[in-house]
Amino acid sequence: MIGLCDKRYKLDRKIEVEECLKLSINSFYEANLLRDGADGQTLWLNLFGNEIARVDFSINIKPSDNFIQLKYLIKNVNKVSYTVRLITTKCNFSGVRYWFICPAIKNNEPCCKRSGVLYKPYNSKYFACRFCYELTYQSKKFNY
């Protein structure tokens, strides 16, 4: 079971998507990784090319069940490992499009929203959809 244990952000301010690690289903698709048995590592680098974070992943695409296994360290110490379900929808022309199913539990309810991107604020433990973290976009904060 996965929970969102980091509630402190709610007390001060909303987090922006720009302050989060992002996992995009499109980047897995473009790297041809949405196939059974695919695995690898996603790295995030800062402007100087230094590693900010890394996530190990493995993909399970079976007729019965599709999921991605995520493994990473929090603050270089605590191991986190969980699966995120993947679903498909039919595309207009041909083929299918993959989506993450948000793995978070919020207010004791599983979220289960379909999402193309999952976010993890830097100090949070899990990747979840932007609704679970109540993320805003930087551009929405300015009124021109």
Residues that bind Zn ion (CB under 5 A): 102, 104, 111, 113, 128-129, 132
Pair 87, 98: CB distance under 8 Å? yes
Smaller CB separation from Zn ion, 86 or 129: 129
Q: C-beta of 66: minimal distance to Zn ion in Å?
A: 18
Q: C-beta of 107: minimal distance to Zn ion in Å?
A: 11
Smaller CB separation from Zn ion, 38 or 125: 125
Q: C-beta of 83: minimal distance to Zn ion in Å?
A: 15
CA 21 from centroid of its chain's CA atoms? 8
The total of other beta-carbon atoms located within 10 Å of residue 55's CB is 19
Smaller CB separation from Zn ion, 22 or 113: 113
Tell me how far apart the alpha carbons of residues 70 and 76 are, in angstroms, rounded to a whole number: 15
Which of 74, 79, 87 is CA-nearest to residue 116?
87
